Amino acid sequence: MEDQQLIPHLFRTECRKITAVLCKLFGIEHIEVAEDIASDTFLAATELWGIKGLPENPVAWLYTVAKNKAKNHLKRDAIFNEKIAAQLKHCSNSSEEIEIDLSSQNITDSQLQMMFAICHPAISSEAQIGLALRILCGFGIEEIADAFLTNKENINKRLFRAKEKLRAENITIEFPGADEINSRLESVLTTLYLLFNEGYYSLSHHAVLRKDLCAESMRLTHMLTENEQTNTTSVNALLALMSFQASRFDARFDLQGEMILYDDQDESLWNAELIAQGEHYMNLASTGDSLSKYHLEAGIAFWHTLKTDCIEKWESILQLYNHLLSLEYSPAAALNRTYAFSKARGKKEAIVEAEKLELNDHYLYQALLGELYSGVNNEKAIRHFKKALILSKSGAERALLERKIGKLETRI
């Protein structure tokens, strides 16, 4: 890796580790102190490495500087130091004796414990995702704003309110007790699931960012599988789902950034390694007795990695959607279920099913009706596609809808 690319790369991979360890050490009420020390460490690296060149071991250099900056902060702030020393029973009031553990194991434990703190039900899902991106993934404020299609000021306000709420609730950075782990883990999985979807279904035109969001959610989910307390069948099912979905990431958009529908995707662009990874975690997920929505969605995603248009495939997907909707209803799942219904039973029967949903203000509903009416009643299809065009907020989606309208208009 070239020198000019090394610091941005290390900032993404190491800043989050330093921040998590210092947050755990200082407590949730001092998140900003941990973030500032981590940022100052990289500022020092940018200044000194540009003059003196790269150190022999850049990561070790960063950890040493971060430790020294943390100890200097404790030494300067006697009140702060007293509080930290009181928390660490093995330490005296001398900041020099406080051990700042940046070992691989403590970094992993700190990140996992931070995950549970951030995904506390006291704050909103959007705030949880924002904090996860900032603290656990090392994303900048501008990147987070791009992911949420908003501005930096809104993101800063959102993160500030979330941190204040965590302080007010006196949230501790630790693993929940054995009796609480399952309920709290569900919140963590929901956040990781939504984080992945922010990347996979994002309206942002920033392709690299979309891919990074998916990769980070998969990294954090993988961390859960490596910990005995959190390595549940639901976690494995979620990682299987993410792997199957991510395998088709590069086939979903063309070089101009325009969306490519599933039926038109180039199968050679699907990632065979990720499909195999998905199958591995799906097998692990099937070992228990529980069946979560992640199991069902992973099953649906698995069938989509088979580029065959047989009835068996779509019937299997349809039954999985039926089960999913009985477990947890969502409009998106209902729409996807109707598309599977059309592939398994035909468009005319699917139109009857679709019109029962009455999701008239949802662009995907109008787009689905446009798809179902195409070839059955092209004039109706055009009307629904035009309604979807008005409701859509994505340039890629609008371009796709316009192409569909244009093709149908030539047939009338």
Is 223 a domain residue?
A: yes
Contacts of 59 (CB under 8 A, 6+ apart): 10, 14
The pLDDT of residue 396 = 80
pLDDT of 53-89, one tens digit each?
999 999 999 999 999 999 988 888 765 666 666 555 4
Q: What is the CATH number of the domain that holds 399?
A: 1.25.40.10
Decide: 386 and 405 in contact? Cβ < 8 Å: yes
The amino acid sitting at 174 is: E
Is 255 a domain residue?
A: no
Indicate if 225 and 125 belong to the same structural domain.
yes
The pLDDT of residue 82 = 65
Is 401 a domain residue?
A: yes
The pLDDT of residue 1 = 55
Is 308 a domain residue?
A: no
Is 157 a domain residue?
A: yes
- Distance CA(322)–CA(325), nearest Å, equals 5
Tokens at residue 179, please?
């009796």
Helix, strand, coil distribution of the chain in percent, nearest 5: 75, 0, 25
Burial of 92 (0-12, 13-18, 19+ CB in 10 A): exposed
Indicate if 117 and 223 belong to the same structural domain.
yes
Indicate if 109 and 218 belong to the same structural domain.
yes
- Distance CA(322)–CA(353), nearest Å, equals 13
Indicate if 213 and 162 belong to the same structural domain.
yes
Indicate if 165 and 141 belong to the same structural domain.
yes
Indicate if 107 and 220 belong to the same structural domain.
yes
Decide: 335 and 364 in contact? Cβ < 8 Å: yes
Indicate if 122 and 187 belong to the same structural domain.
yes
Is 313 a domain residue?
A: no
Is 333 a domain residue?
A: no
Indicate if 111 and 216 belong to the same structural domain.
yes
Indicate if 91 and 107 belong to the same structural domain.
no
Q: How far is CA 3 from the centre of its chain?
A: 29
Domain-terminating residue out of 102, 129, 156: 102
Domain-terminating residue out of 77, 102, 127: 102
The pLDDT of residue 99 = 78
Our count of domains for the chain comes to: 3
Indicate if 34 and 127 belong to the same structural domain.
no
Q: What is the pTM of this model?
A: 0.89
Indicate if 116 and 199 belong to the same structural domain.
yes
Please list the ranges in the chain whose pLDDT falls under 50. 89-96
Domain-terminating residue out of 171, 196, 230: 230
Tokens at residue 368, please?
């689905």
Indicate if 118 and 188 belong to the same structural domain.
yes
Is 34 a domain residue?
A: yes
Q: Which domain holds residue 51?
A: 1-102
